[in-house]
């Protein structure tokens, strides 16, 4: 099919777009503008989901100027269609397809029925079901959240729902290590994309996590990100590469010292920018790092921003503050004020407790509205004086259900070779470092210990982490070549593909490596919870880094207790550090979000002890332990409690889970997909309970069915099975297979006109009934989310010969059971006879449906004004005291209310399906 600028096409993948106009053609791509929704879409020419719009004689068309014509002739002129027709003054006019109105109803069921284009009754039922399910999903509170291949965890769903619903969300996801921040980010991105709040997202991650992100987004959320690296960039055609894709994933390092690339990323507009392991963004009162400055500029350009870190204070509180500042510069403008606020979190928490008991504490800040309900008052207090709306942090203690951690210490004699050298702190902690060759392997007792320990732990998988790449490489080489232990190394010197290959070899259950030896880059972000033995060949001089290391195993999905093995040389700096972490910070047993702060507090006393341990060390341990206990308690009762309150409201999450589970367990999706497959000619084979194998058949209605490959696709409706079996697609109401197939039904004529006979007791034979299904047609930009208030709202009417309404008396499902097929020739003869009668009944039905429409629209507008109005009122009130509410958010909301009202008022009725029924 040849495309020309100006031609009108419709998308059969997304009927809501309205009419599209070809605006740009490149050798392999084509861009259409969809004026009704104010969007442009670019497609690959080869598989663009587009149908050429060509009206026929007798069709009604309207132009942008509001002129309405009945088409009498269609001519083609240089590839563009010219329609000639008569308007309602019986004047003849010619219009080019360029002038057509973008809000258009394409092929009416009435036209098809009266012209003898009948569909099967089963297809009619499929169309009705599709409309009803679409309506249900549009109005579901779990919209955007039901499609992910994840366990339904309260803390994640709460955050995803809370953040995903915001316009242009800007938040710091700071759950403790391994609690699922990547998953939360994926849910937020998915929800924002599905609901049209966002369409372009850029994810920036450390290089070692690129592939893991790519895979997680795809397998858990069906989100296809494009991975940009230097190789891919070199292959891309001229122009800004960031504008060529909607979802881009790349490493932040890609931009280091590459200003041109930074400028290109900045020039492309983003709805969402996501930065993982955001604690690396360096900022201090003395100055900001290049990475921070780049993200700062991106943050200013992007509407939404998600920063992810498990250890927000890993390089200090000032740096944590700087990241909050990226999210919301108005709220976080002064470090001193921020520090001062943090001092009062505990008092704040006590006030919240009092409010929960129904008391109004005396010390409640004066700016709060004391007349509010306690729950709202608490929210106001937290918003204005607490941890704010931008920070989410769930802790293991609050989430619960995590396994225990056990520390195993192994004292080893210090070899004399190490004792001879005069060591600085770095070498004292890593005595093998000064050796330029691998000779240390021969005398360092940790090496022989490692070998023996690995052998004794067989067949368990063991993750080994050490600080430096050279150590990791030497150790792995030794294990592999000299000890015969199947192992792989993971360090910065490997390419991204080599790293992922090493990690995959380690993950492989049959015949894979027993151990993976990682340098520090393996201590962040990666998922190694299939192992439960961790060997720390050395210890890092930062408690947050230690927490990150342990977090590789101690994360969601870990089934066993986590066994942490630490070998150390007696009398060495490592032993002192181990004692301090173990007996001072108690970090092996339990994570501690104030680890870095405690480290800073005792740093001056700790460092000399590492160089040479003195009698004062015992005092240091006692003091650290006391301070840690106090700090943990302070946090538990202060900041962490406030954050927990903000980060997970169990009852809200539970109602989302209930909704998702009820949609999954009501046994409707499975028969519906089977029905779709029958209609589109896809073969289905039973695989196991709630699981099918789908294959294209020779009788496919269209060239393809979404997601079904030539070899066959196995789909399961069972969440548990979907989680366990990577080879199966987990099908939910939000899986692209279902969404696209639904669009295929609704954007085509399939099932919109049918005819049949039934026997109805008490109704004389030869009586004509007309079953009509209408929906509300509200063409509006997706980002407005109008369907939240005004979903399709199907209205079914069943009119008899006298215009009586029988819809309630004879439900649609009952009709489907009773209906019988009519021979095509008989059907055509019937139609001829009842032509006029059908027209008359339709006029009656239209009037009845129109009355319902007006009621639906009025109710939708009221609902919208109540809902968004309350949100606006709340934000306006809060904003007086809390600058964390951006003026832009308020303006957007006001604009949204006006625009929604306008679109709701202009919504019209759309006849979706019509069935003529004759009683026998």
Ligand X SMILES: Nc1ncnc2c1ncn2[C@@H]1O[C@H](COP(=O)(O)OP(=O)(O)OP(=O)(O)O)[C@@H](O)[C@H]1O
Annotated binding residues for ATP, written as ranges, equal 175-182
CB of 353 to ligand X, least distance (A): 29
Q: Is 281 in the site for ligand X (CB under 6 A)?
A: no
Of these, 19, 126, 556, 815, which contacts ligand X (CB under 6 A)?
A: 556
**C-alpha 669, offset from chain centre:** 22
Q: Does 222 contact ligand X by CB under 6 A?
A: no
User: Is the Cβ of residue 179 or residue 744 nearer to ligand X in the bound state?
Assistant: 179
Q: Which of 109, 386, 522, 525 binds ligand X (CB under 6 A)?
A: 525
Q: How many residues bind ligand X (CB under 6 A)?
A: 19
Which CB sits closer to ligand X, 175 or 749?
175
- Residues 694 and 670: beta-carbon distance below 8 Å: no
Residue 551 binds to ligand X (criterion: CB under 6 A)? yes
Based on the shown chain and the rule CB under 6 A, indicate whether residue 153 belongs to the binding site for ligand X: yes
The pattern of x and - marking residues 302 through 341 that bind ligand X according to CB under 6 A reads: --------x-------------------------------
Measuring CA to CA, how many Å separate 664 from each of 124, 495, 668, 739, 843? 24, 42, 8, 15, 40
Q: Residue 386 or 525: which CB sits closer to ligand X?
A: 525
Q: Of residues 389, 555, 719, 812, which one binds ligand X by CB under 6 A?
A: 555
Instruction: In whole angstroms, give the CA distance from residue 123 to residue 894.
Output: 43
Pairing of strands 405-412, 562-569: parallel
- End-to-end CA gap in the chain: 47
Q: How many other CB atoms are there within 10 angstroms of residue 825's CB atom?
A: 8
Concatenated DSSP letters of 730-794 = E--TTSHHHHHHHHHHHHS-TTSEEEEEE--TTS-TT-EEEEEEEEEE----GGG-GGGTS----
- Selected range binding ligand X among 103-111, 472-480, 486-494, 553-561, rule: CB under 6 A: 553-561
Q: Which of the stretches 99-107, 172-180, 538-546, 711-719 binds ligand X when contact is defined by CB under 6 A?
A: 172-180
Q: Quote the DSSP letter at residue 561.
A: P
Q: Smallest distance from the beta carbon of 220 to ligand X, in angstroms?
A: 7
308: nearest Cα among 592, 548, 146: 548
Closest CA to 463 of 544, 527, 539: 527
Nearer to ligand X, 556 or 790 (CB): 556
What string marks each residue from 52 to 81 as x (binds ligand X by CB under 6 A) or -?
------------------------------
User: Which residue, 198 or 556, has its beta carbon nearer to ligand X?
Assistant: 556
Q: Least distance (Å) from ligand X to the CB of residue 726?
A: 12
> Distance (Å, rounded) from C-alpha 719 to C-alpha 598?
43
Instruction: Tell me if 726 contacts ligand X by CB under 6 A.
Output: no
Q: Considering the rule CB under 6 A, would residue 504 count as an interface residue with ligand X? A: no
- Looking at the Cβ atoms of 83 and 213, the one nearer to ligand X is 213
Nearest-approach distance from CB 310 to ligand X, in angstroms:
4
Cα 663 to Cα 830: distance, rounded to the nearest angstrom? 41
Q: Does 591 bind ligand X (CB under 6 A)?
A: no
Instruction: Identify residues 174-203 at the interface with ligand X (CB under 6 A).
Output: 175, 177-183
Q: Are the C-beta atoms of 116 and 831 separated by less than 8 Å?
A: yes
CB proximity list for 208: less than 8 A, separation 6 or greater? 490, 492, 496, 499, 521, 522, 524, 525, 526
What are phi and psi for residue 849, nearest 5 degrees?
-65, -35
In the complex with ligand X, the residue whose CB is nearer, 279 or 384, is 279
Using rule CB under 6 A, residue 527 touches ligand X: yes
Give whole-number Cα distances, 472 to 469, 483, 542, 774, 853, in Å: 5, 15, 19, 67, 69
Compare residues 195 and 527 and give the one whose CB is closer to ligand X.
Answer: 527
Segment interacting with ligand X (CB under 6 A) among 146-154, 248-256, 747-755, 805-813: 146-154
Can you say which residues are annotated as belonging to the binding site?
175-182
612 part of the interface to ligand X, by CB under 6 A? no
For residues 145 and 157, the answer to whether their CB atoms sit within 8 Å is: yes
Closest separation in Å from C-beta 183 to ligand X: 4
Q: Does residue 459 have a cis peptide bond before it, meaning omega lies within 30 degrees of 0?
A: yes
Q: If binding is defined by CB under 6 A, does position 150 make contact with ligand X?
A: yes
Which part of the chain contacts ligand X (CB under 6 A), choosing from 125-133, 147-155, 291-299, 424-432?
147-155
Of 21, 35, 25, nearest to 2 by C-alpha is: 25
CB-CB contact of 44 with 31 (8 Å):
no
Q: Which residue, 524 or 575, has its beta carbon nearer to ligand X?
A: 524
> Near ligand X by CB under 6 A, which window of 173-181, 509-517, 714-722, 887-895?
173-181
Unique residue bearing structure tokens 């032509």: 835
Q: Can you tell me the distance from the alpha carbon of 609 to that of 415, in angstroms, rounded to the nearest whole number?
A: 20
Q: Which residues bind ligand X (CB under 6 A)?
A: 150-151, 153, 156, 175, 177-183, 310, 525, 527, 551, 555-557
């Amino acid at each position: 099919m040849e495309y020309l600028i100006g031609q009108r096409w419709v998308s059969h993948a997304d009927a809501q777009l309205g009419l599209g106009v070809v605006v740009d053609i490149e050798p392999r791509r084509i861009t259409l503008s969809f004026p009704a929704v104010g969007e442009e879409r670019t497609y690959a020419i080869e598989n663009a989901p587009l149908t050429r719009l060509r009206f026929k004689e007798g069709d009604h068309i309207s132009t942008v100027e509001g002129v309405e014509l009945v088409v009498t002739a269609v001519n083609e002129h240089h590839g563009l269609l010219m329609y000639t027709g008569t308007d309602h003054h019986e004047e003849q006019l010619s219009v080019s397809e360029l002038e057509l109105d973008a809000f258009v109803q394409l092929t009416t069921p009435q036209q098809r029925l009266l012209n003898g284009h009948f569909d099967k009754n089963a297809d009619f039922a499929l169309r009705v079901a599709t409309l009803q399910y679409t309506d249900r999903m549009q109005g579901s509170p779990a919209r955007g959240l039901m499609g992910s291949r994840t366990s339904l965890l309260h803390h994640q769903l709460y955050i995803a729902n809370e953040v995903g619903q915001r316009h242009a969300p800007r938040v710091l996801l700071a759950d403790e290590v391994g609690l699922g921040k990547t998953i939360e980010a994926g849910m937020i991105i998915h929800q924002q994309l599905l609901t049209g709040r966002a369409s372009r997202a850029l994810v920036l991650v450390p290089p070692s996590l690129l592939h893991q992100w790519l895979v997680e987004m795809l397998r858990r959320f069906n989100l296809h990100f494009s991975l940009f690296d230097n190789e891919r960039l070199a292959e891309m055609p001229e122009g800004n590469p960031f504008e060529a894709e909607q979802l881009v994933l790349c490493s932040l390092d890609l931009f280091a010292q590459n200003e041109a690339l930074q400028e290109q990323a900045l020039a492309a507009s983003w709805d969402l920018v996501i930065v993982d392991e955001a604690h690396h963004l360096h900022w201090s009162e003395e100055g900001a790092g290049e990475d921070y400055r780049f993200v700062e500029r991106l943050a200013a350009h992007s509407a939404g921003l998600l920063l992810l870190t498990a250890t927000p204070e890993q390089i200090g509180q000032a740096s944590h503050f700087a990241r909050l500042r990226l999210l919301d510069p108005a709220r976080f403008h002064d470090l001193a004020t921020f520090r001062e606020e943090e001092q009062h979190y505990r008092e704040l928490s006590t006030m919240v407790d009092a409010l929960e008991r129904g008391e109004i504490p005396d010390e409640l800040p004066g700016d709060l509205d004391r007349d509010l309900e306690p729950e709202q008052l608490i929210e106001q207090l937290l918003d204005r004086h607490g941890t704010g709306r931008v920070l989410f942090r769930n802790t293991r203690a609050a989430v619960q259900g995590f396994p225990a951690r056990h520390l195993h210490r192994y004292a080893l004699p210090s070899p004399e070779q190490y004792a001879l050298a005069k060591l600085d702190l770095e070498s004292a902690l890593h005595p093998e470092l000064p050796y330029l060759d691998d000779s240390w392997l021969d005398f360092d007792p940790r090496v022989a210990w490692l070998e023996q320990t690995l052998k004794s732990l067989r067949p368990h998988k063991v993750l080994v982490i050490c600080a430096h790449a050279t150590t990791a490489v030497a150790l792995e080489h030794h294990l592999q070549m000299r000890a015969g232990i199947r192992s792989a190394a993971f360090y910065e010197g490997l390419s991204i593909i080599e790293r992922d290959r090493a990690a995959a070899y380690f993950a492989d259950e049959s015949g894979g490596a027993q151990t993976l030896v990682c340098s520090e880059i393996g201590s962040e972000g990666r998922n190694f919870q299939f192992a439960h033995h961790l060997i720390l060949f050395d210890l890092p001089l930062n408690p947050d880094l230690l927490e990150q290391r342990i977090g590789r195993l101690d994360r969601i999905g870990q089934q066993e207790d986590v066994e942490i093995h630490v070998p150390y040389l007696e009398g060495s700096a490592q032993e002192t550090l181990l004692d301090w972490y173990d007996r001072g910070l108690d970090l092996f047993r339990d994570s501690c979000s104030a680890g870095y702060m405690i480290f800073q507090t005792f740093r001056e006393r700790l460092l000399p002890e590492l160089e040479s341990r003195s009698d004062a060390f015992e005092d240091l341990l006692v003091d650290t332990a006391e301070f840690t206990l106090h700090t943990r308690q302070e946090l538990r009762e202060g900041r962490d409690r406030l954050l927990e309150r903000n980060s997970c409201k169990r009852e809200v999450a539970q109602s989302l889970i209930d909704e998702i589970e009820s949609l999954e367990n009501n046994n409707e999706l499975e028969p519906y997909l089977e029905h779709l497959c029958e209609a589109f000619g896809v073969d289905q084979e039973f695989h196991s309970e709630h699981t099918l194998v789908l294959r294209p058949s020779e009788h496919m209605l269209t060239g393809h069915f979404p997601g079904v490959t030539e070899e066959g696709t196995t789909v399961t409706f069972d969440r548990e099975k979907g989680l366990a079996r990577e080879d199966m697609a987990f099908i939910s109401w939000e899986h692209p297979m279902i969404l696209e197939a639904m669009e295929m039904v609704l954007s085509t004529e399939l099932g919109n006109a049918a005819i049949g006979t039934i026997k109805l007791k008490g109704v004389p034979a030869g009586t004509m009934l007309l079953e009509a299904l209408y929906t509300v047609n509200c063409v509006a930009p997706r980002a407005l989310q109008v369907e939240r208030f005004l979903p399709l709202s199907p209205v079914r009417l069943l009119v008899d010969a006298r215009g009586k309404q029988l819809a309630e008396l004879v439900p649609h499902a009952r009709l489907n059971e009773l209906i019988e097929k009519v021979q095509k020739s008989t059907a055509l003869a019937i139609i001829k006879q009842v032509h006029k009668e059908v027209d008359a009944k339709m006029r009656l039905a239209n009037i009845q449906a129109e009355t319902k429409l007006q009621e639906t629209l009025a109710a939708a507008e009221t609902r919208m004004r109540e809902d968004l109005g309350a949100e606006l009122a709340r934000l306006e009130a809060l904003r007086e005291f809390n600058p964390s509410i951006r003026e832009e958010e308020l303006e957007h909301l006001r604009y949204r209310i006006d625009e929604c009202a306008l679109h709701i008022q202009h919504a019209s009725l759309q006849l979706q399906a019509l069935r003529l029924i004759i009683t026998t």
